Amino acid sequence: MVGKNLMFNGRSSAIGLFDEPINAHKSIPTTRVIHDFYSLDPSLGFYGGGGIDARHPSRGLPLGSALRSGRFSSQSWGSDYKKRLQEEFTHTVAFNGHSTSLPLASNTVTLDPNLRDVWGRPALRCTYKDHPDDLATALFFRERSLELLDAAGAKQTTTVPVSEAEGGVHLLGTCRMGNDSSNSVVDRFNRSHDVPNLFMCDGSSLVTGGRGQPTMTIMALAFRAADYMIGAARRGEI
């Protein structure tokens, strides 16, 4: 089971340009503002769910905004380009969907049988393909984001294409938690079934993508595992 069920979380984004300054680059975003679609109706024909939040399209970075500009104009240089950048940076907001990434045994991290680094160690090989339901869910969330921007009065909107994931910042799965060592890697306290003194307290133990940011869940599991380690050490079990 080690290396199987890799997940990244689904994602989508729609961006709106407003007449008034939005200043979405200020302060910090409050994630998962909308949970109305945390569990989607099965009648839609696909499985999924998640949340939507609002933030700056470039995460508040002026250079990032410049490099990604041109969403609302074909102009890409000169004084008009600078004026457009200034307007886009202060007058745009993105509604982002954070959604399901189904655990699939075929999505894996393994050791490459041929490629090695300069020290002779096998390179990592990542094999990943989104489940069709994950892509359908991302499209659903993108449409809801466009509806939100329209209701808020955006004068122009654009979207980020929903496509097959080629990576992600939420690395989840590959050492899933469970009671049965035949279909899991760690127990409920993040302790390896096969190596008693090995604990894995990161996103690898998650059995689902969680439909959003996983950090707080990982932290809670890590604190819980730490309490267990302390007790086990006092009992001489470590």
What span, in angstroms and rounded, lies between the C-alpha atoms of 46 and 141?
A: 13
Identified catalytic residue from 25, 56, 91, 170:
170
Q: How many residues does the chain have?
A: 238
223, amino acid identity:
F
What span, in angstroms and rounded, lies between the C-alpha atoms of 134 and 42?
A: 14
What span, in angstroms and rounded, lies between the C-alpha atoms of 174 and 206?
A: 8
Beta strand 108-116 with 122-127: parallel, antiparallel or unpaired? Answer: antiparallel
170 catalytic residue (yes or no): yes
DSSP 191: B
What span, in angstroms and rounded, lies between the C-alpha atoms of 208 and 236?
A: 33
Tokens 């109305």 -> residue? 36
Residue 2: which H helix or E strand, with range?
A: none
At 76 the three-state DSSP class reads coil
Residues identified as active-site: 170
